[in-house]
Amino acid sequence: MERRMDARQLKIAAAQAALEHVSDGMRLGIGTGSTANEFVRLLAEKVHDGFRVQGVPTSEQTARLCMELGVPLFSLDELPELDLTIDGADELDGNLNLIKGGGGALLREKIVASASTRMIVIADESKVVETLGRFPLPIEVMPFGLASTRLAVERLAATLGLSGEIVQRPDRDGPYLTDGGHFILDASFGRIPDAEALANGLAAIAGVVEHGLFLHMADAAIIATAAGVRMLTAQNEQE
């Protein structure tokens, strides 16, 4: 009888496959989130067996887990150029464009991925969509001028024919604060037919620090399905 894999097993399968792309001595960007955490756990086992990596974490949360498990860490200033970043995603399309930031780490994730020669996304098949936007788009904004920035985002959305609620992300005791001390607006646009135009428009708003559209950044995605793991690249798809 076929045994169905649960959500955690899918994350582990994607993380395990990603590990095969990590070579001894690599300078490695390490992502944030539950899938990236599985990668850190598997990486730590290899490190204990003598495998050498120099890790740059994309969040304080990931840094804590790496330190706990003994994965050697460096700052991006110490290692400004990285060989590979392995990170999760909230959503990805067939062109490997992503929505990230569900875990609040989008700014550091984007900086680390941009400093890397390659970025590989690890995810389960539920994250794959035809058109980005089912997952609310995280937009990291300055606390100063929040109302004006939100208005500018709403106006931009309207010019692009996008509608939907834009809510400030809450935390337990107040607004959610990123590692950089910024707020996050989550924009439920539903479907983003022109992600390029939205990304450009958001980047041009003064109070927007960064947004969760990662366009043309990922080189490959490892997608875990109940039937096995498959690799997606921007041009082709292989089992």
Ligand X SMILES: O=C(CO)[C@H](O)[C@H](O)COP(=O)(O)O
Which residues carry a binding-site annotation?
32-35, 87-90, 100-103, 127
Would residue 109 show up in a list of annotated catalytic residues for this protein?
yes
In one-letter notation, the amino acid at residue 234 is: A
Give the residue with the Cβ less far from ligand X, 103 or 207. 103
Q: Which member of 57, 104, 136, 201 binds ligand X (CB under 6 A)?
A: 104
Q: Which member of 10, 18, 35, 93 binds ligand X (CB under 6 A)?
A: 35
CA 227 to chain centre: 24
Binding residues for substrate: 32-35, 87-90, 100-103, 127
Collapse the DSSP code of 80 into the 3-class scheme (helix H, G, I; strand E, B; otherwise coil) and give the result. Answer: coil
DSSP designation for 64:
H
Told to check if 33 binds ligand X by CB under 6 A, we report: yes
DSSP 117-129: EEEEEEEEGGGB-
Q: Which member of 17, 30, 105, 141 binds ligand X (CB under 6 A)?
A: 105
CB 89 within 8 A of CB 123: yes
CB 106 within 8 A of CB 100: yes
**CA–CA gap between residue 111 and residue 17 (Å, rounded):** 24
Told to check if 93 binds ligand X by CB under 6 A, we report: no
Q: Give the active site residue among 38, 91, 109, 140.
A: 109
Structure-token pair, residue 179: 């590692």
Told to check if 88 binds ligand X by CB under 6 A, we report: yes
Q: Which member of 27, 100, 150, 169 binds ligand X (CB under 6 A)?
A: 100
- Residues found near ligand X in the complex (CB under 6 A): 31-35, 87-90, 100-106, 109
* Catalytic (active-site) positions: 109
